[in-house]
Amino acid sequence: MGLLRVMMPPKLQLLALLAFAVAMFFLENQIQKLEESRGKLERAIARHEVREIEQRHTQDGLRERGPAAALSDSDDDLVIIYNRVPKTASTSFTNIAYDLCGKNRYHVLHINTTKNNPVMSIQDQVRFVKNVTEWREMKPAFYHGHVSFLDFTKFGVKRKPVYINLIRDPIERLVSYYYFLRFGDDYRPGLRRRKQGDKKTFDECVSAGGSDCAPERLWLQIPFFCGHYSECWNVGSQWALEQAKYNLVNEYMLVGVTEELEDFVMMLEAALPRFFRGATELYKTGKKSHLRRTSEKKPPTKESVAKLQQSDIWKMENEFYEFALEQFQFVRAHAVREKDGELYMLAQNFFYEKIYPKN
């Protein structure tokens, strides 16, 4: 090689080095492609082995337990509970479920409590748990209603329902509810509302110290997530705040935020396609039958917002909202990517291998 370097002109030496570098790059590229192909083949073989094992176990299980076991071990036995918080886009989201239930073959049931009381009596709790778990004709089912969280484990059930929910910036939610009671919305514009005829704006209410815009009215999202404990409904309870956080993380599969409703819908479609297949497309390009807007709503002034933000109740409700938002964004960051301005769900990012025994 040393003799060759002496005999070759500098330009040829340079060309030889470039050719060698290109050849090495090509070889490395081919090796990388072979490694990727090998990885894909291993994953394909692993998936095939898993399917064979699953089919074998399913067949063995059905033979041992009989045909009745097929329903209980499938998505057809799934129950979702959406204990919707008022004025968080709950009707808008629920209408998506109604639009899809026929196509995706599940039932939607509205939990209509007397006077919209979010706390059930102990006897109604038992009845509700029994209905949700044993009403086989209604499964799979999507239950929704303005009811606070109910812990099914207290009633000894074997399979708990899947809880989902949406929450909203607490002041924006209160403002929306304030005007909704006076002017209704575009969903049922002819329905007479409880405060219809009261023309006072939200800002005027705050300035006058009215009860409909008092800080105590902010205390709603925390007790809805806290549940059926007396302390949940004690306004300003630190215990209720911590219990609500605990339930959000441990009892809810997914909690979205009103301000990012499309992402919430997309993630549900990816996680629960049995119910939400087609939901994202419906939300984006459908007839917009799911959209609902409060009429005559005027944004509050900075002064009104600042006055509400001085209260400890707002600070607690806002802490809970920020906690839920951070959790939602964490889940989304591990499930969604953006490309060319469009969001898309990540494909399955795990597989099984080294499965033994082989037979």
Question: Which residues are tagged catalytic?
Answer: 144, 146
Compute CA distances 100 → 46, 105, 111, 260, 290, whole Å: 34, 8, 19, 21, 11
Alpha-carbon gap, residue 27 to 195, rounded angstroms: 76
Helix (H), strand (E) at residue 133: helix 122-134
DSSP readout, 59-78? HHHHHHH-THHHHHTSGGG-
Burial 204-230 (b: 16+ CB within 10 A, else e): ebbeeeeebbbbebbbbbbbbbbbbbe
Write down the residue that tokens 């815009």 correspond to.
Answer: 213
Summarize the chain as % helix, strand, coil (round to 5). Answer: 60, 10, 30
244, 327 in Cβ contact below 8 A? no
HSE of 126, CA atoms in CB hemisphere, 13 A: 2
As a whole number of angstroms, the distance between CA 210 and CA 170 comes to 18
CA distances in angstroms from 190 to 32, 186, 221, 348, listed in the order given = 66, 9, 28, 47
Is 194:182 a contact under the CB 8 Å cutoff? no
- The CA-based angle 52-357-42, given to 5 degrees, is 60
